[in-house]
Amino acid sequence: MPEFNSNEWIALATTYGVRILLALAIYLVGKRIVAFTTDLMAKAMTARGVDPTVGNFVQNITYYLLLALVVVAALGQLGVETASAIAILGAAGLAVGFALQGTLSNFASGVMLILLRPLKIGDFVEVAGEAGVVKDVAIFATTLTTPDNKTIIISNSAIFSSNITNYSTQATRRVDLIVGVSYNADIQQVKNELLAIAANDERILKDQEVTVGVVELADSSVNFVFRPWVKTADYWAFYFDLNERVKVRFDELGIEIPYPQMDIHTIPT
């Protein structure tokens, strides 16, 4: 090992100290520039009306790519050859890729979700056995908020490999309601009352046909199907109101909504 005198040690420490300080400065300043650039890009996409789902995903990808360039530049300042650094990072990335195949699958699924767009931020969806409003579609996972305000994070691969039910893509939805009445009830009266309820609610779309008819002669009741159409935004409020209005109106008219019951006949012995 070569011996250095005090002056050589000082010169060596000064040289490498300056390099380390410059590399640290490049990293810190570069990181701030990257954050500023990606934020500016996000604002520009928002101003141009780019979908938030796509905007957030592109912003995240751009941020990490630019940050990787900053790290390479900082390593170059330390004397590490850029080509060697890129080769090392590539080899390390390959090794990590084999170790984290599930994570890469989530990344690939995230890209496909962005390209195909079966869901977007703000949609109410049912995926991988969970239902909620999409809050974010990130690189590796998607975040949902449930109606009772729980946060659910689902891996993108689980979403992309499962059935996706999106309740927000269509402007209108059909409300399917089953109304059971007594066998003693007047069928035509029940139909007329259900149609009257539909005619008196402004939320029901008048250009869509309202279906009312006997769908089943069940054990304890005659079941009517009641199918009006409403705007998707009005669906749940209308659904709850409709159940209440049917019950109140039928009570006023004396139309019985029976409990489940069974007639038992005994045979004398």
List the domains of the chain with CATH numbers. 6-99 (1.10.287.1260), 116-166 (2.30.30.60), 172-253 (3.30.70.100)
Structure tokens at 213: 């008819």
Mean per-residue pLDDT, 1-29: 70
Predicted confidence at residue 19, as pLDDT, reads 77
Q: Which residues fall within 8 angstroms of residue 184, CB to CB, at 6 or more apart?
A: 256
Mean per-residue pLDDT, 20-43: 86
Half-sphere exposure of 177 (CA within 13 A, CB side): 26
- Examine the pLDDT at 68 and tell me if it is beyond 90: no
pLDDT digits over 238-248, tens only? Answer: 999 999 999 99
> How far is the C-alpha of 54 from the C-alpha of 42, rounded, in Å?
10
C-alpha separations of 244 from 183, 185, 223, 255, 260 in Å: 22, 19, 17, 14, 20
C-alpha separations of 198 from 32, 166, 241 in Å: 59, 26, 12
Predicted confidence at residue 111, as pLDDT, reads 83
The share of the chain scoring above pLDDT 90, in percent, equals 41
Residue 71 exposed, middle or buried by CB count within 10 Å (0-12, 13-18, 19+) = middle
pLDDT digits over 133-154, tens only? Answer: 999 988 888 999 999 999 999 9
> How far is the C-alpha of 107 from the C-alpha of 154, rounded, in Å?
13
| pTM of the full structure | 0.60
Q: If pLDDT is split at 50, 70 and 90, which confidence band does 88 have?
A: low
Q: Identity (one letter) of the amino acid at 263?
A: D
Predicted confidence at residue 100, as pLDDT, reads 46
- In the DSSP assignment, the letter for residue 149 is S
